[in-house]
Structure 1
Amino acid sequence: MTALAAKSAVVLPLLTALSAAVSILALSQPAHLPPGLGFLFKPLTTILILLHAWPRGADQPRLARWVRVGLLCSLAGDIALLWPETGFLPGLVSFLVAHVCYIAGFCSRLRLGAVRWPFLMFGVIAAAVLGRLWPHIPGALQGPVVVYVAALTVMAAQAWAWWRGSVSRPDEPRARWAAWGGTLFVLSDAMLAINKFAGPLEMASFWVLASYWPAQWCIASSLGRARA
């Protein structure tokens, strides 16, 4: 690793954490910083995660390509959700496409469903959350929400399947990053959905974003080390 790459490995996580903290403080209710800062620092945080992902994955080009496209779609979703009401459906679609990209990337490492128990585990979790929320979801959104939940569930399950299918292999540490990223994404979206449809949850913005960006960082880290 070059000196520049080594410095970036320290500075970029710190900048990402600082940007995330400013965004959370600006977008929380009540806001602890001017809310306008959230419109800058929320997309900036995801851009910094993109910078973390971009030089990585030279030995896994298909995975790297899909993860980068997924992060770009997530950036579009982050921007849309800055307007929670009018931007909810565009944001949902953007993140749906992001999850499809992540699924495609993880499937480049292991066949879809090759390890079955994570699909059962996340399916049960998704069914429980969706069942709790169903009476509160407007009819026009029920279809899109079901499709989104299915994609999120498959993404997290396939990440775990890749991890458990790679035990004792060289790519196990990368797969572990993906698995924890998928898990944190499920946690973040579950809290977001509960707050929107059945809430409100206390400190919802904090908990949603404090799990969302680590999820994206973990998924980006599944690409392995940056090129020297």
Structure 2
Amino acid sequence: MTASVAKSSVALPLLTLVSATVAILALSQPAQLPPGLGFVFKPLTTVLILLYAWQRGADQPALARWLRAGLLCSLAGDVALLWPEQGFLPGLVSFLVAHVCYIVGFCTQRRFGAVRWPFLMFGVIAAVVLGRLWVNVPAALQAPVVVYVVCLATMAAQAWAWWRGGVGLPDEAQARWAAWGGTLFVFSDAMLAINKFAGPLEMASVWVLASYWPAQWCIASSLRRSRA
């Protein structure tokens, strides 16, 4: 049993890395690779991260339930964004719900706003990025984009509040994973927004996806490993 668990703990990260690499190459170099590969390996990578999350958190049912729900919503968003124009708004809504799930999950571990300075920090970051892009955001998308940005910044801030509010406590390592996951998510979405509203950004798929999947992996890693 121990050997089987050890093999699984190595195989799943390796499979996820391979799947993510194929997806990034297919989506960033469509002229050199079959375009259908991106449509297969992009959702597959998130499915593998979801499987990783499903193997964890047995002793944290509330947190596990909300983080898995967030990953499922993210999977829906990944599929929608395979069509960047038609799928942008459905993808935005899917990821908005995902961030709400993550916020609620993080709040099961630490009171909302337990540490306030991360909210100021991510609020400033969000305001700066949104301010620079605002003139290029179509009027029909301005309201949903603002709601999304506020929710994304809140998710990252609450992850940091969990971490910095629990320094020295048993769950500090888990909270650190969540905090870096939230930070990478902010970076990934900032790159996506720059590419869409102020771009085109060179190697946009690489910037966005090479930070997006590590963000999701970090968030999933905030669940404790289940004991076999």
Q: TM-score range by the shorter chain?
A: over 0.9
CA distance in 2, matches of 1:149, 1:31: 33
CA distance in 1, matches of 2:139, 2:5: 50
Q: Residue 133 of structure 1 aligns with which residue?
A: 133
Task: Indicate if the aligned counterparts of 1:67 and 1:102 stay in contact, CA closer than 8 A.
Answer: yes
Aligned pairs for 1:1-228 (under 5 A) are 2-228=2-228
Amino acid at match of 2:208: V
SS of 1:33's partner is: coil
SS of 1:132's partner is: helix
Q: Flag as ranges the 4+ runs of structure 1 deviating above 4 A.
A: none
Q: Following TM superposition, by how much is the alpha carbon of 1:31 offset from its aligned partner in structure 2, in angstroms?
A: 4.3
CA distance in 1, matches of 2:91, 2:227: 32
Task: Indicate if the aligned counterparts of 2:63 and 2:108 stay in contact, CA closer than 8 A.
Answer: yes
Amino acid at match of 2:81: L
SS of 1:50's partner is: helix
Q: Following TM superposition, by how much is the alpha carbon of 1:29 offset from its aligned partner in structure 2, in angstroms?
A: 4.5
Q: Following TM superposition, by how much is the alpha carbon of 1:60 offset from its aligned partner in structure 2, in angstroms?
A: 1.0
Q: Encode CA deviations 1:53-92: one digit per residue, 9 max, x unaligned.
A: 0021111110000000000000000000000000000000
CA distance in 1, matches of 2:150, 2:225: 31
Amino acid at match of 2:67: V
CA distance in 1, matches of 2:29, 2:10: 31
- Give the total of aligned pairs: 228
Task: Indicate if the aligned counterparts of 1:20 and 1:213 stay in contact, CA closer than 8 A.
Answer: yes
Amino acid at match of 2:213: W
CA distance in 1, matches of 2:4, 2:71: 24
Task: Indicate if the aligned counterparts of 1:29 and 1:205 stay in contact, CA closer than 8 A.
Answer: no
Which has the higher mean CA deviation after the structures are superposed, 1-10 or 150-159? Answer: 1-10
Q: Following TM superposition, by how much is the alpha carbon of 1:4 offset from its aligned partner in structure 2, in angstroms?
A: 1.7
CA distance in 2, matches of 1:11, 1:172: 26
CA distance in 1, matches of 2:167, 2:32: 44
C-alpha RMSD of matched pairs (Å): 1.0
CA distance in 2, matches of 1:11, 1:32: 28
Task: Indicate if the aligned counterparts of 1:174 and 1:223 stay in contact, CA closer than 8 A.
Answer: yes
Amino acid at match of 1:164: R
Task: Indicate if the aligned counterparts of 1:174 and 1:224 stay in contact, CA closer than 8 A.
Answer: yes
Task: Indicate if the aligned counterparts of 2:59 and 2:226 stay in contact, CA closer than 8 A.
Answer: no
Amino acid at match of 1:156: A
SS of 1:10's partner is: helix
Amino acid at match of 1:170: P
CA distance in 1, matches of 2:125, 2:31: 32
The runs of 5 or more residues in structure 1 that have no matched partner are none
SS of 1:163's partner is: helix
The runs of 5 or more residues in structure 2 that have no matched partner are none
CA distance in 2, matches of 1:24, 1:132: 27
CA distance in 1, matches of 2:32, 2:118: 39
CA distance in 2, matches of 1:134, 1:3: 53
